[in-house]
């Protein structure tokens, strides 16, 4: 009878960008079970954010650097719901543009991380070269590379003037051309296919059981994307695959990269004239519930205010919280060398998960 061996992976591991521990149960080289262990990165941000509602705009961006603009947008939309104000159309479109820019930086990071996990150092560096062009672009627009800090309750603090729009379109044209060559490697390279096809399969039924979201869900045949509600002006349709393996999850991100470029182009074409924000006075009161589609999936903000400057409660549900947990269903049946690539394929974010 083959003996079961317990092997810890992490919390410090070369492929993990943040501390995460996966306790693997192996029979020889085959994984037969896994337990996901969190708790190495808790910062108590939710409690800290239940304070001055104006300061919270900037604090919520610190939950995660990769999707910081989504956090500040979701929070500002929550407060706008409490204040019962509608942001100007120009501000709404600027938010859409900046969110899709951040989706591009997130997906190129995730794909680069996947390439690095498979030993494709050149592919990794080329993807990060494209990401750097995007980072410089958003820095020119917002003044910041990571935490944009242009959201405010009632709109945005910075405009995208015509000259910046032209610069943005030029950068996107170059990105689309160069990324097409890198995407071809992901789609056609024999070694990448051998390392990802049929590895870490998450069936549609298991995806529903674990309540996964974002590219992880869409790669398992679930056509769920919150952008269908707030990108309706841009003729948006979610990208879905049925295989549910590491290859499908990467391909969803590859295709969504091209899709985000198109969405930004459409949004800039439709960018209306008008003010950037509406004034908001007084203190908030009541409850608000907001959903947005971050790069890793659905992010939810619940805010409760009591009519004072300090919030009573703020609760954040991030996509990595459920996506990382689904690894325990993906890895059984795989071999030990497959674990790093499968883990990276869900785009884990422990800052988001633990806060």
The per-residue pLDDT for range 138-154, each reduced to its tens digit, is: 999 998 888 898 999 99
pLDDT beneath 50, residues of the chain: none
Model pTM score? 0.94
Q: Report the chain's mean pLDDT, rounded to a whole number.
A: 92
CB 31 within 8 A of CB 329: no
Note the pLDDT of residue 21: 84
- What topology is assigned to 44-199+247-325+340-354 in CATH? Cytochrome-c3 Hydrogenase; chain B (1.10.645)
Q: Which of 154, 173, 142 is nearest to 73 (CA)?
A: 154
Q: Where are the alpha helices (DSSP H) in the chain?
A: 45-49, 56-59, 68-83, 89-117, 121-142, 162-188, 190-196, 204-210, 214-218, 227-230, 246-269, 320-323, 327-330, 339-345, 350-354
- Token representation of residue 104: 């591009």
The per-residue pLDDT for range 99-139, each reduced to its tens digit, is: 999 999 999 999 999 999 999 999 999 999 999 999 999 99
Note the pLDDT of residue 211: 94
Distance separating alpha carbons of residues 218 and 222, to the nearest angstrom: 5
238 contacts: CB under 8 Å, gap ≥ 6: 218, 223, 224, 225, 227, 228
């Amino acid at each position: 009878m083959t003996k079961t061996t317990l092997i810890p992976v992490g919390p410090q591991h070369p492929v993990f960008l943040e501390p995460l521990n996966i306790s693997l149960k192996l029979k020889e080289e085959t994984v037969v079970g896994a337990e996901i262990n969190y708790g190495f990165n808790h910062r108590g941000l939710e409690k800290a954010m239940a304070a001055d509602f104006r300061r919270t705009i900037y604090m919520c961006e610190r939950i995660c650097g990769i999707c910081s603009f989504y956090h500040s947008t979701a929070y500002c939309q929550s407060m706008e719901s409490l204040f019962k104000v509608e942001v100007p159309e120009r501000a709404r479109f600027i938010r859409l543009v900046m969110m899709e820019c951040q989706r591009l930086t997130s997906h190129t990071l995730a794909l680069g991380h996947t390439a690095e996990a498979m030993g494709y150092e050149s592919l990794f560096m080329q993807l990060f070269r494209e990401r750097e062009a995007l980072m410089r672009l958003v820095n020119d627009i917002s003044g910041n590379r990571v935490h944009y800090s242009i959201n405010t309750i009632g709109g945005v603090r910075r405009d995208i003037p015509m000259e910046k729009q032209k610069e943005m379109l030029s950068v996107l044209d170059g990105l689309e051309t160069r990324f097409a060559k890198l995407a071809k490697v992901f789609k056609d390279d024999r070694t990448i296919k051998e390392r990802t096809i049929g590895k870490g399969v998450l069936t549609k039924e298991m995806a529903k059981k674990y309540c996964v979201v974002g590219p992880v869900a869409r790669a398992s045949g679930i056509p769920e994307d919150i952008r269908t509600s707030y990108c309706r002006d841009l003729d948006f349709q979610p990208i879905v695959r049925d295989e549910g393996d590491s290859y499908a999850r990467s391909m969803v991100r590859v295709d969504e990269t091209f899709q985000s470029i198109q969405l930004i182009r459409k949004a800039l074409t439709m960018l209306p004239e008008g003010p950037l924000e509406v004034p908001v006075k007084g203190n908030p009161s009541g409850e608000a519930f907001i959903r947005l589609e971050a790069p890793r999936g659905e992010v939810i903000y619940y805010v409760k205010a009591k009519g004072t400057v300090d919030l009573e409660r703020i609760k954040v549900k991030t996509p990595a919280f459920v996506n990382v947990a689904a690894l325990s269903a993906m890895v059984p049946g795989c071999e030990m060398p497959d674990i790093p690539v499968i883990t990276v394929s869900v785009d884990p974010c422990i800052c988001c998960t633990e806060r």
